[in-house]
Structure 1
Amino acid sequence: MGFGIWVEPEMVNPDSELYRAHPDWVQYQPGPARTEFRNQLVLNLAREDVREHVWQRLDALLSSAPIDFVKWDFNRCFTDAGRPGEPYPQRLWTDHVHAFYDLLDRLRAAHPGVAFESCSGSGGRIDLGVLGRTDQVWTSDNTDPLDRLAIQHGFSQIHSARVMTAWVTDSPNTQLNGRVSSLAPGAALRRTRAGAAAARPRPDGVVRVPGDGGGAPRSGPAAPRAAHRTHRRPGRDGAETAAYLSANSPGSGRIPGSANF
Protein backbone atom coordinates (compact mmCIF):
# COMPACT_ATOMS: atom_id res chain seq x y z
CA MET A 1 0.00 0.00 0.00
CA GLY A 2 1.32 3.43 -0.95
CA PHE A 3 1.18 6.59 1.14
CA GLY A 4 -1.05 9.49 0.09
CA ILE A 5 -1.96 12.95 1.36
CA TRP A 6 -5.00 15.19 0.93
CA VAL A 7 -4.23 18.89 0.47
CA GLU A 8 -6.08 22.11 -0.31
CA PRO A 9 -3.20 24.49 -1.08
CA GLU A 10 -5.25 27.30 -2.65
CA MET A 11 -6.98 28.10 0.66
CA VAL A 12 -5.89 29.90 3.81
CA ASN A 13 -7.47 30.16 7.25
CA PRO A 14 -7.78 33.80 8.41
CA ASP A 15 -6.57 32.65 11.83
CA SER A 16 -3.16 31.59 10.55
CA GLU A 17 0.39 32.91 10.55
CA LEU A 18 0.35 33.10 6.75
CA TYR A 19 -2.72 35.34 6.61
CA ARG A 20 -1.57 37.55 9.47
CA ALA A 21 1.74 38.08 7.68
CA HIS A 22 0.22 38.56 4.20
CA PRO A 23 -3.45 39.64 4.32
CA ASP A 24 -3.06 40.98 0.78
CA TRP A 25 -2.29 37.52 -0.60
CA VAL A 26 -5.96 36.54 -0.84
CA GLN A 27 -8.59 37.42 -3.38
CA TYR A 28 -10.57 40.42 -2.09
CA GLN A 29 -12.51 43.48 -3.09
CA PRO A 30 -11.70 46.84 -1.47
CA GLY A 31 -14.34 47.97 0.97
CA PRO A 32 -16.62 45.06 1.94
CA ALA A 33 -15.69 42.45 4.51
CA ARG A 34 -13.93 39.43 3.08
CA THR A 35 -16.24 36.44 2.76
CA GLU A 36 -15.22 33.35 4.67
CA PHE A 37 -16.52 29.94 3.72
CA ARG A 38 -15.48 26.81 5.61
CA ASN A 39 -13.32 29.21 7.69
CA GLN A 40 -11.29 29.84 4.54
CA LEU A 41 -10.29 32.54 2.10
CA VAL A 42 -8.90 31.90 -1.39
CA LEU A 43 -5.23 32.61 -2.05
CA ASN A 44 -4.61 34.72 -5.13
CA LEU A 45 -2.47 32.44 -7.29
CA ALA A 46 -2.36 35.17 -9.94
CA ARG A 47 0.30 36.82 -7.77
CA GLU A 48 3.76 35.47 -8.48
CA ASP A 49 4.82 35.67 -4.82
CA VAL A 50 1.78 33.64 -3.73
CA ARG A 51 2.36 31.07 -6.44
CA GLU A 52 6.02 30.72 -5.46
CA HIS A 53 5.12 30.30 -1.79
CA VAL A 54 2.67 27.49 -2.60
CA TRP A 55 5.26 25.83 -4.84
CA GLN A 56 7.93 25.92 -2.15
CA ARG A 57 5.63 24.47 0.50
CA LEU A 58 4.35 21.66 -1.70
CA ASP A 59 7.78 20.83 -3.08
CA ALA A 60 9.18 20.66 0.46
CA LEU A 61 6.26 18.49 1.57
CA LEU A 62 6.70 15.98 -1.26
CA SER A 63 10.46 15.91 -0.65
CA SER A 64 10.07 15.27 3.07
CA ALA A 65 8.52 11.80 2.90
CA PRO A 66 7.97 8.90 0.47
CA ILE A 67 4.61 10.24 -0.71
CA ASP A 68 3.01 8.29 -3.58
CA PHE A 69 -0.29 10.10 -4.04
CA VAL A 70 -1.70 13.63 -3.72
CA LYS A 71 -5.41 14.46 -3.66
CA TRP A 72 -5.61 18.17 -4.58
CA ASP A 73 -8.91 19.59 -3.36
CA PHE A 74 -10.65 22.93 -3.92
CA ASN A 75 -13.83 23.08 -1.84
CA ARG A 76 -15.06 26.64 -2.13
CA CYS A 77 -15.85 29.00 -4.98
CA PHE A 78 -14.56 32.50 -5.67
CA THR A 79 -16.69 34.98 -3.72
CA ASP A 80 -14.37 38.00 -3.60
CA ALA A 81 -12.63 37.67 -6.95
CA GLY A 82 -10.62 40.87 -6.95
CA ARG A 83 -7.07 42.15 -7.09
CA PRO A 84 -6.93 45.84 -6.06
CA GLY A 85 -4.38 47.84 -8.00
CA GLU A 86 -4.42 45.54 -11.02
CA PRO A 87 -5.20 47.48 -14.26
CA TYR A 88 -7.25 44.57 -15.59
CA PRO A 89 -8.61 42.78 -12.49
CA GLN A 90 -10.84 40.46 -14.53
CA ARG A 91 -7.68 38.59 -15.53
CA LEU A 92 -7.75 37.04 -12.07
CA TRP A 93 -10.17 34.38 -13.28
CA THR A 94 -7.92 33.04 -16.03
CA ASP A 95 -4.60 33.86 -14.35
CA HIS A 96 -5.54 31.79 -11.29
CA VAL A 97 -6.36 28.76 -13.43
CA HIS A 98 -3.15 29.04 -15.45
CA ALA A 99 -1.19 29.39 -12.21
CA PHE A 100 -2.83 26.21 -10.92
CA TYR A 101 -1.82 24.42 -14.12
CA ASP A 102 1.73 25.75 -13.76
CA LEU A 103 2.01 24.44 -10.21
CA LEU A 104 0.89 20.99 -11.32
CA ASP A 105 3.40 21.02 -14.19
CA ARG A 106 6.28 21.96 -11.88
CA LEU A 107 5.32 19.40 -9.25
CA ARG A 108 4.95 16.62 -11.82
CA ALA A 109 8.36 17.44 -13.25
CA ALA A 110 10.04 17.57 -9.83
CA HIS A 111 8.24 14.50 -8.44
CA PRO A 112 7.49 12.19 -11.39
CA GLY A 113 6.69 9.22 -9.14
CA VAL A 114 3.78 10.95 -7.43
CA ALA A 115 0.22 10.39 -8.71
CA PHE A 116 -2.18 13.35 -8.57
CA GLU A 117 -5.95 13.38 -8.23
CA SER A 118 -8.11 16.45 -8.87
CA CYS A 119 -11.07 17.07 -6.58
CA SER A 120 -13.20 20.18 -6.16
CA GLY A 121 -16.22 19.76 -3.94
CA SER A 122 -16.64 16.43 -5.78
CA GLY A 123 -16.25 16.77 -9.56
CA GLY A 124 -16.18 20.55 -9.89
CA ARG A 125 -12.78 20.76 -11.57
CA ILE A 126 -12.67 18.30 -14.45
CA ASP A 127 -11.53 19.99 -17.64
CA LEU A 128 -9.07 19.12 -20.37
CA GLY A 129 -6.32 21.12 -18.67
CA VAL A 130 -6.78 19.15 -15.46
CA LEU A 131 -7.12 15.81 -17.24
CA GLY A 132 -3.83 16.45 -19.03
CA ARG A 133 -2.01 17.08 -15.76
CA THR A 134 -3.50 14.59 -13.29
CA ASP A 135 -3.77 10.83 -13.11
CA GLN A 136 -7.39 10.67 -12.00
CA VAL A 137 -10.37 12.78 -10.93
CA TRP A 138 -13.02 12.43 -8.24
CA THR A 139 -16.55 12.60 -9.66
CA SER A 140 -18.91 12.90 -6.70
CA ASP A 141 -19.08 12.74 -2.91
CA ASN A 142 -22.20 10.62 -3.30
CA THR A 143 -20.78 7.15 -2.64
CA ASP A 144 -24.03 5.21 -2.41
CA PRO A 145 -23.58 2.06 -4.55
CA LEU A 146 -26.80 2.40 -6.53
CA ASP A 147 -26.47 6.14 -7.02
CA ARG A 148 -22.94 5.62 -8.30
CA LEU A 149 -24.30 3.56 -11.20
CA ALA A 150 -25.98 6.63 -12.70
CA ILE A 151 -23.14 8.98 -11.77
CA GLN A 152 -20.45 6.83 -13.34
CA HIS A 153 -22.57 6.02 -16.38
CA GLY A 154 -23.12 9.74 -17.00
CA PHE A 155 -19.44 10.55 -16.51
CA SER A 156 -18.43 7.89 -19.02
CA GLN A 157 -20.52 9.56 -21.74
CA ILE A 158 -18.02 12.44 -21.84
CA HIS A 159 -14.78 11.27 -20.25
CA SER A 160 -12.70 8.12 -20.27
CA ALA A 161 -13.72 5.76 -17.48
CA ARG A 162 -10.07 5.10 -16.63
CA VAL A 163 -9.61 8.59 -15.17
CA MET A 164 -12.57 8.23 -12.80
CA THR A 165 -12.01 7.18 -9.21
CA ALA A 166 -14.94 5.28 -7.79
CA TRP A 167 -15.63 3.62 -4.47
CA VAL A 168 -18.56 3.15 -2.13
CA THR A 169 -18.92 3.64 1.61
CA ASP A 170 -20.94 2.57 4.60
CA SER A 171 -24.03 0.42 4.59
CA PRO A 172 -26.47 1.60 5.85
CA ASN A 173 -25.65 4.85 4.07
CA THR A 174 -25.80 7.31 6.96
CA GLN A 175 -24.49 10.17 4.79
CA LEU A 176 -27.39 10.36 2.34
CA ASN A 177 -30.36 8.05 2.36
CA GLY A 178 -30.09 5.24 4.91
CA ARG A 179 -30.02 2.62 2.14
CA VAL A 180 -28.70 -0.84 3.01
CA SER A 181 -26.53 -2.31 0.24
CA SER A 182 -25.39 -5.92 0.28
CA LEU A 183 -21.72 -6.67 -0.33
CA ALA A 184 -22.57 -10.10 -1.74
CA PRO A 185 -21.25 -10.54 -5.31
CA GLY A 186 -23.83 -9.37 -7.84
CA ALA A 187 -26.31 -8.25 -5.18
CA ALA A 188 -26.69 -4.74 -6.57
CA LEU A 189 -27.18 -6.01 -10.11
CA ARG A 190 -29.75 -8.61 -9.03
CA ARG A 191 -31.64 -6.03 -7.03
CA THR A 192 -31.61 -3.56 -9.92
CA ARG A 193 -32.92 -6.14 -12.41
CA ALA A 194 -35.57 -7.39 -10.02
CA GLY A 195 -36.68 -3.85 -9.28
CA ALA A 196 -36.98 -3.02 -12.98
CA ALA A 197 -39.15 -6.07 -13.61
CA ALA A 198 -41.40 -5.61 -10.58
CA ALA A 199 -41.76 -1.82 -10.32
CA ARG A 200 -45.13 -0.35 -11.18
CA PRO A 201 -45.49 3.45 -11.48
CA ARG A 202 -48.56 5.02 -9.90
CA PRO A 203 -50.55 7.98 -11.27
CA ASP A 204 -48.80 10.33 -8.84
CA GLY A 205 -45.44 9.39 -10.34
CA VAL A 206 -44.20 7.41 -7.32
CA VAL A 207 -42.42 4.15 -8.07
CA ARG A 208 -42.80 1.49 -5.42
CA VAL A 209 -40.62 -1.59 -5.54
CA PRO A 210 -42.16 -4.79 -4.09
CA GLY A 211 -40.02 -6.09 -1.28
CA ASP A 212 -38.46 -2.67 -0.77
CA GLY A 213 -41.24 -0.71 0.82
CA GLY A 214 -43.65 -1.61 -2.02
CA GLY A 215 -47.39 -1.93 -1.76
CA ALA A 216 -49.08 -0.34 1.19
CA PRO A 217 -46.67 1.10 3.77
CA ARG A 218 -46.01 -1.42 6.46
CA SER A 219 -47.13 -0.85 10.01
CA GLY A 220 -44.96 -1.11 13.07
CA PRO A 221 -41.21 -0.45 13.41
CA ALA A 222 -40.52 -0.93 9.70
CA ALA A 223 -42.97 1.76 8.59
CA PRO A 224 -40.51 4.71 8.62
CA ARG A 225 -38.04 2.78 6.50
CA ALA A 226 -40.77 1.72 4.06
CA ALA A 227 -41.82 5.33 3.60
CA HIS A 228 -38.20 6.41 3.20
CA ARG A 229 -37.68 3.95 0.37
CA THR A 230 -40.31 5.65 -1.79
CA HIS A 231 -38.57 8.17 -4.04
CA ARG A 232 -39.45 10.56 -6.83
CA ARG A 233 -35.85 11.41 -7.73
CA PRO A 234 -34.24 9.37 -10.56
CA GLY A 235 -31.49 6.99 -9.55
CA ARG A 236 -32.46 6.76 -5.90
CA ASP A 237 -33.83 3.18 -5.94
CA GLY A 238 -33.11 -0.06 -7.76
CA ALA A 239 -35.95 0.16 -10.26
CA GLU A 240 -35.40 3.80 -11.07
CA THR A 241 -31.67 3.26 -11.51
CA ALA A 242 -32.30 0.36 -13.89
CA ALA A 243 -34.86 2.34 -15.87
CA TYR A 244 -32.53 5.32 -16.04
CA LEU A 245 -29.59 3.25 -17.29
CA SER A 246 -31.78 1.52 -19.86
CA ALA A 247 -33.20 4.80 -21.19
CA ASN A 248 -29.78 6.42 -21.34
CA SER A 249 -27.77 3.56 -22.76
CA PRO A 250 -25.41 4.33 -25.68
CA GLY A 251 -27.98 3.01 -28.15
CA SER A 252 -30.86 5.07 -26.81
CA GLY A 253 -29.73 8.33 -28.36
CA ARG A 254 -29.97 10.15 -25.05
CA ILE A 255 -27.19 11.61 -22.95
CA PRO A 256 -27.70 12.01 -19.20
CA GLY A 257 -28.05 15.60 -18.07
CA SER A 258 -25.97 17.33 -15.41
CA ALA A 259 -28.76 16.81 -12.86
CA ASN A 260 -27.75 13.16 -12.68
CA PHE A 261 -24.29 14.07 -11.46
Structure 2
Amino acid sequence: MLGTRSQKFGLLLLIIFILVATSWNFFNAQKDEFNLNVNAEGNGRVNINPEKTKYLPEKKVALAAEAGNNSTFVKWTGDFESEKETVEITMDSNKTITAVFKKKTEIVNFNDSSLELAVRKALNKPSGPLYKSEVNDIQKLEAAGKGIQSLKGIENLTSLTYLDLGRKWKDGGWNYNIIKDLSPISNLINLNYLDLSGNKIENISPLVKNNGINSGDYVNLRYNNLELGDKDQDMKDIKKLKENDVEIKYE
Protein backbone atom coordinates (compact mmCIF):
# COMPACT_ATOMS: atom_id res chain seq x y z
CA MET A 1 0.00 0.00 0.00
CA LEU A 2 2.74 2.35 0.94
CA GLY A 3 4.51 1.79 -2.36
CA THR A 4 1.33 2.38 -4.24
CA ARG A 5 0.70 5.62 -2.38
CA SER A 6 4.27 6.74 -3.05
CA GLN A 7 3.87 5.94 -6.71
CA LYS A 8 0.61 7.87 -6.88
CA PHE A 9 2.16 10.80 -5.06
CA GLY A 10 5.16 10.76 -7.39
CA LEU A 11 2.88 10.63 -10.41
CA LEU A 12 0.88 13.55 -9.02
CA LEU A 13 4.05 15.57 -8.54
CA LEU A 14 5.11 14.77 -12.10
CA ILE A 15 1.74 15.92 -13.44
CA ILE A 16 1.94 19.14 -11.41
CA PHE A 17 5.49 19.74 -12.66
CA ILE A 18 4.41 19.24 -16.28
CA LEU A 19 1.46 21.60 -15.85
CA VAL A 20 3.63 24.27 -14.25
CA ALA A 21 6.32 23.94 -16.92
CA THR A 22 3.74 24.06 -19.69
CA SER A 23 2.12 27.15 -18.18
CA TRP A 24 5.52 28.79 -17.75
CA ASN A 25 6.44 28.11 -21.37
CA PHE A 26 3.03 29.33 -22.53
CA PHE A 27 3.23 32.61 -20.65
CA ASN A 28 6.82 33.13 -21.72
CA ALA A 29 5.86 32.51 -25.33
CA GLN A 30 3.03 35.00 -24.99
CA LYS A 31 5.40 37.49 -23.41
CA ASP A 32 7.98 37.07 -26.17
CA GLU A 33 5.56 37.81 -29.00
CA PHE A 34 6.12 41.12 -30.76
CA ASN A 35 3.50 43.63 -31.82
CA LEU A 36 3.24 44.79 -35.44
CA ASN A 37 1.37 48.00 -36.16
CA VAL A 38 1.01 48.77 -39.88
CA ASN A 39 -0.46 52.05 -41.14
CA ALA A 40 -1.19 53.62 -44.53
CA GLU A 41 -0.58 57.32 -45.11
CA GLY A 42 -2.50 58.61 -48.11
CA ASN A 43 -4.78 56.73 -50.47
CA GLY A 44 -3.70 53.11 -50.26
CA ARG A 45 -3.70 49.93 -48.22
CA VAL A 46 -1.27 47.28 -46.98
CA ASN A 47 -1.67 43.53 -47.42
CA ILE A 48 -0.05 41.53 -44.59
CA ASN A 49 0.88 37.85 -44.79
CA PRO A 50 0.32 36.22 -42.37
CA GLU A 51 -2.18 38.81 -41.14
CA LYS A 52 -1.87 39.09 -37.36
CA THR A 53 -1.00 41.74 -34.80
CA LYS A 54 1.44 39.64 -32.72
CA TYR A 55 4.24 37.43 -33.98
CA LEU A 56 6.77 35.05 -32.48
CA PRO A 57 10.44 36.14 -32.54
CA GLU A 58 12.17 35.85 -35.94
CA LYS A 59 8.86 35.33 -37.73
CA LYS A 60 8.96 36.53 -41.36
CA VAL A 61 6.10 38.80 -42.40
CA ALA A 62 5.39 39.96 -45.96
CA LEU A 63 4.03 43.47 -46.53
CA ALA A 64 2.61 44.55 -49.89
CA ALA A 65 1.65 48.17 -50.54
CA GLU A 66 -1.38 48.65 -52.79
CA ALA A 67 -2.00 52.18 -54.05
CA GLY A 68 -5.55 53.47 -54.41
CA ASN A 69 -7.06 55.24 -57.39
CA ASN A 70 -4.96 58.11 -58.70
CA SER A 71 -2.26 57.41 -56.10
CA THR A 72 1.21 55.93 -56.15
CA PHE A 73 3.31 54.19 -53.50
CA VAL A 74 6.31 56.19 -52.26
CA LYS A 75 8.09 54.34 -49.45
CA TRP A 76 7.93 52.52 -46.11
CA THR A 77 8.80 54.56 -43.02
CA GLY A 78 9.05 53.97 -39.28
CA ASP A 79 10.83 50.91 -37.92
CA PHE A 80 11.48 49.64 -41.45
CA GLU A 81 12.48 51.73 -44.47
CA SER A 82 12.37 50.77 -48.13
CA GLU A 83 11.12 52.06 -51.48
CA LYS A 84 10.06 48.61 -52.72
CA GLU A 85 6.32 47.99 -52.85
CA THR A 86 6.60 44.41 -51.54
CA VAL A 87 8.96 43.70 -48.65
CA GLU A 88 9.64 41.06 -46.02
CA ILE A 89 10.40 41.97 -42.41
CA THR A 90 11.71 39.91 -39.51
CA MET A 91 9.92 40.29 -36.19
CA ASP A 92 12.76 40.84 -33.76
CA SER A 93 11.06 43.66 -31.81
CA ASN A 94 7.81 45.60 -31.64
CA LYS A 95 7.42 47.48 -34.91
CA THR A 96 5.35 50.35 -36.26
CA ILE A 97 5.57 50.69 -40.03
CA THR A 98 3.81 53.11 -42.36
CA ALA A 99 3.26 52.81 -46.10
CA VAL A 100 3.33 56.28 -47.67
CA PHE A 101 1.23 56.99 -50.75
CA LYS A 102 0.86 60.22 -52.67
CA LYS A 103 -1.50 61.51 -55.29
CA LYS A 104 -0.46 61.09 -58.88
CA THR A 105 0.05 64.33 -60.72
CA GLU A 106 0.16 65.13 -64.40
CA ILE A 107 1.84 62.75 -66.82
CA VAL A 108 5.25 63.85 -68.14
CA ASN A 109 6.14 63.22 -71.77
CA PHE A 110 9.58 63.22 -73.36
CA ASN A 111 10.09 63.95 -77.05
CA ASP A 112 13.26 61.87 -77.11
CA SER A 113 12.92 58.15 -76.42
CA SER A 114 16.56 57.84 -75.33
CA LEU A 115 16.08 60.54 -72.71
CA GLU A 116 12.92 58.82 -71.53
CA LEU A 117 14.80 55.53 -71.17
CA ALA A 118 17.44 57.24 -69.02
CA VAL A 119 14.70 58.69 -66.79
CA ARG A 120 12.99 55.31 -66.50
CA LYS A 121 16.30 53.72 -65.51
CA ALA A 122 16.79 56.34 -62.79
CA LEU A 123 13.30 55.56 -61.48
CA ASN A 124 13.61 51.80 -62.02
CA LYS A 125 10.30 52.02 -63.89
CA PRO A 126 10.59 50.29 -67.28
CA SER A 127 6.99 50.87 -68.31
CA GLY A 128 3.83 52.75 -67.48
CA PRO A 129 3.07 56.49 -67.33
CA LEU A 130 5.71 58.80 -65.88
CA TYR A 131 4.21 61.23 -63.40
CA LYS A 132 5.54 64.62 -62.44
CA SER A 133 5.43 63.60 -58.79
CA GLU A 134 7.88 60.79 -59.64
CA VAL A 135 10.37 62.53 -61.92
CA ASN A 136 10.74 65.64 -59.79
CA ASP A 137 12.34 63.48 -57.09
CA ILE A 138 15.25 62.43 -59.34
CA GLN A 139 18.51 64.00 -58.18
CA LYS A 140 20.99 62.27 -60.47
CA LEU A 141 20.58 61.48 -64.17
CA GLU A 142 23.30 59.73 -66.17
CA ALA A 143 22.54 59.95 -69.90
CA ALA A 144 25.94 60.32 -71.56
CA GLY A 145 26.40 59.11 -75.14
CA LYS A 146 22.78 58.05 -75.68
CA GLY A 147 22.12 59.84 -78.97
CA ILE A 148 19.71 62.25 -77.27
CA GLN A 149 18.55 65.10 -79.49
CA SER A 150 15.78 66.81 -77.50
CA LEU A 151 15.67 67.73 -73.81
CA LYS A 152 11.97 68.54 -73.79
CA GLY A 153 10.45 67.09 -70.63
CA ILE A 154 13.61 67.33 -68.54
CA GLU A 155 12.35 70.63 -67.11
CA ASN A 156 10.13 68.52 -64.83
CA LEU A 157 13.16 67.00 -63.06
CA THR A 158 13.32 69.95 -60.70
CA SER A 159 15.43 68.22 -58.03
CA LEU A 160 18.32 67.39 -60.38
CA THR A 161 21.74 68.18 -58.93
CA TYR A 162 23.82 65.96 -61.25
CA LEU A 163 23.17 65.80 -64.99
CA ASP A 164 25.51 64.01 -67.39
CA LEU A 165 24.61 64.58 -71.04
CA GLY A 166 28.18 64.46 -72.31
CA ARG A 167 30.08 62.04 -74.50
CA LYS A 168 30.97 58.53 -73.35
CA TRP A 169 33.70 56.10 -74.35
CA LYS A 170 32.24 52.70 -75.16
CA ASP A 171 33.26 49.70 -77.26
CA GLY A 172 36.42 51.38 -78.52
CA GLY A 173 34.87 54.69 -79.53
CA TRP A 174 33.09 57.83 -78.37
CA ASN A 175 29.31 57.86 -78.13
CA TYR A 176 27.57 61.22 -78.24
CA ASN A 177 24.35 63.09 -77.68
CA ILE A 178 23.17 65.55 -80.35
CA ILE A 179 21.67 68.31 -78.22
CA LYS A 180 21.30 71.84 -79.58
CA ASP A 181 18.65 73.51 -77.43
CA LEU A 182 19.41 74.00 -73.72
CA SER A 183 16.27 75.97 -72.86
CA PRO A 184 14.61 73.04 -70.98
CA ILE A 185 17.34 73.18 -68.31
CA SER A 186 17.20 76.95 -67.76
CA ASN A 187 15.07 76.51 -64.62
CA LEU A 188 16.80 73.47 -63.11
CA ILE A 189 18.21 75.62 -60.33
CA ASN A 190 19.53 72.77 -58.16
CA LEU A 191 22.15 71.68 -60.70
CA ASN A 192 25.73 71.67 -59.44
CA TYR A 193 27.23 69.23 -61.98
CA LEU A 194 26.46 69.53 -65.69
CA ASP A 195 28.34 67.72 -68.46
CA LEU A 196 27.34 68.80 -71.98
CA SER A 197 30.54 67.81 -73.76
CA GLY A 198 30.39 66.53 -77.32
CA ASN A 199 27.00 67.93 -78.34
CA LYS A 200 25.86 70.40 -81.04
CA ILE A 201 25.26 73.35 -78.72
CA GLU A 202 25.52 76.82 -80.26
CA ASN A 203 23.79 78.93 -77.61
CA ILE A 204 24.52 78.71 -73.88
CA SER A 205 22.37 81.64 -72.74
CA PRO A 206 19.97 79.26 -70.88
CA LEU A 207 22.87 78.45 -68.54
CA VAL A 208 23.33 82.14 -67.76
CA LYS A 209 19.59 82.51 -67.14
CA ASN A 210 19.71 79.61 -64.68
CA ASN A 211 20.20 81.39 -61.35
CA GLY A 212 21.07 78.12 -59.67
CA ILE A 213 24.31 77.65 -61.61
CA ASN A 214 26.80 79.61 -59.55
CA SER A 215 29.80 79.43 -57.23
CA GLY A 216 31.39 75.99 -56.99
CA ASP A 217 29.27 74.38 -59.70
CA TYR A 218 30.82 72.47 -62.59
CA VAL A 219 29.89 72.82 -66.29
CA ASN A 220 31.62 70.99 -69.16
CA LEU A 221 31.01 72.52 -72.62
CA ARG A 222 33.93 70.99 -74.50
CA TYR A 223 33.55 69.76 -78.08
CA ASN A 224 30.47 71.80 -79.00
CA ASN A 225 29.75 74.32 -81.77
CA LEU A 226 30.52 77.41 -79.70
CA GLU A 227 31.91 80.67 -81.04
CA LEU A 228 34.79 81.51 -78.73
CA GLY A 229 36.06 84.82 -80.10
CA ASP A 230 36.28 87.68 -77.61
CA LYS A 231 33.29 89.44 -79.20
CA ASP A 232 31.16 86.34 -79.65
CA GLN A 233 28.08 85.91 -77.44
CA ASP A 234 29.10 82.42 -76.37
CA MET A 235 32.37 83.74 -74.95
CA LYS A 236 30.55 86.59 -73.23
CA ASP A 237 28.22 84.07 -71.59
CA ILE A 238 31.18 81.92 -70.55
CA LYS A 239 32.76 84.95 -68.91
CA LYS A 240 29.52 85.65 -67.02
CA LEU A 241 29.53 82.12 -65.68
CA LYS A 242 33.18 82.41 -64.68
CA GLU A 243 32.41 85.68 -62.91
CA ASN A 244 29.95 83.70 -60.80
CA ASP A 245 32.80 81.33 -59.86
CA VAL A 246 31.44 78.47 -61.96
CA GLU A 247 34.11 75.90 -62.87
CA ILE A 248 33.60 75.78 -66.62
CA LYS A 249 35.43 73.73 -69.26
CA TYR A 250 35.06 74.88 -72.87
CA GLU A 251 38.37 74.42 -74.72
Query: Which TM-score band applies after superposition, normalised by the shorter structure?
Result: under 0.3
Question: Which protein has the bigger strand share?
Answer: 2
TM-score by length of 1: 0.25
Larger radius of gyration: 2
Question: Which protein has the bigger helix share?
Answer: 1
TM-score by length of 2: 0.26
Structure having greater relative contact order (Cα 8 Å, sep ≥ 6): 1
